């Protein structure tokens, strides 16, 4: 899906001031959970590379990973990463204990098998390493989908604003799916946040977690 949407997504993400949810809510709240730079940071599902371009200037050494060749090439050319891997999150081409931080910013909910990806994060992280993840909040889904919250449901949401269009495709899953996968992979949740768009908002848009690999 992301390879098909690569041109749309790049315009959406790189047009200055366009992705207001990212700029004013999602990233500022998420950044507060990210640990200080360490040995090596893996950006899991790096897309066109904006997370790397934000973390590298504050001291992170980064490896990016994405399955969409067009987006991986854009991340590689855009700077911020020491290297970008064309690979799946379920088979990360890094040795055990290679990194001390994995950032999975708005990527796990797009994957067919997030549990396996989380297990791979546990494998490449050193003991005590952190996984920081952001997903679409499990309650942030169409009303009809909430009729069966526990079902895994594919969604496609087209959005148009200021002349740009983007169809966001993902798989809605209950929160327990993610916490179960984290538990199975040896993680404990250190912090969980539901950034509120504004005081009038009735439900959160995103869910953030910082998790520590215990074994």
The domains of the chain, with CATH numbers, are: 6-137+175-213 (3.40.50.150)
pLDDT(45) > 90: yes
Over range 19-29, report the average pLDDT: 96
Q: Three-state DSSP class for 199?
A: coil
Give the Cα separation of 13 and 20 in Å (integer).
Answer: 10
Check residue 135 and give its pLDDT.
Answer: 98
pLDDT(17) > 90: yes
The percent of residues above 90 in pLDDT, for the chain, comes to 93
Which pair of structure tokens corresponds to residue 90? Answer: 């379920």
Q: How many residues does the chain have?
A: 215
Mean pLDDT of all residues belonging to the chain: 96
pLDDT(141) > 90: no
Which pair of structure tokens corresponds to residue 128? Answer: 């005590």
């Amino acid at each position: 899906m992301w390879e098909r949407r690569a041109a749309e997504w790049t315009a959406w993400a790189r047009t200055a001031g366009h992705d207001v949810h990212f700029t004013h809510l999602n990233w500022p709240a998420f950044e507060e959970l990210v640990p200080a730079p360490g040995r090596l940071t893996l950006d899991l599902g790096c897309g066109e590379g904006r997370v790397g371009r934000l973390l590298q200037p504050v001291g992170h050494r980064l490896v990016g990973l994405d399955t969409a060749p067009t987006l991986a090439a854009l991340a590689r050319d855009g700077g911020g990463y020491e290297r970008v891997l064309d690979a799946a999150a379920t088979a990360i081409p890094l040795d055990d204990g290679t990194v001390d931080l994995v950032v999975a910013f708005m990527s796990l909910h797009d994957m067919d098998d997030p549990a396996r990806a989380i297990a791979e994060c546990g494998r490449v992280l050193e003991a005590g390493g952190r996984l920081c993840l952001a997903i679409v909040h499990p309650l942030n889904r169409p009303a009809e989908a909430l009729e069966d919250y526990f079902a895994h449901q594919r969604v496609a949401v087209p959005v148009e604003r200021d002349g740009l269009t983007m169809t966001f495709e993902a798989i809605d899953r209950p929160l327990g799916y993610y916490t179960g996968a984290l538990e199975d992979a040896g993680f404990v949740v250190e912090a969980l946040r539901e950034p509120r768009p504004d005081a009038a908002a009735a439900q959160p848009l995103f869910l953030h977690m910082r998790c520590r690999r215990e074994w």
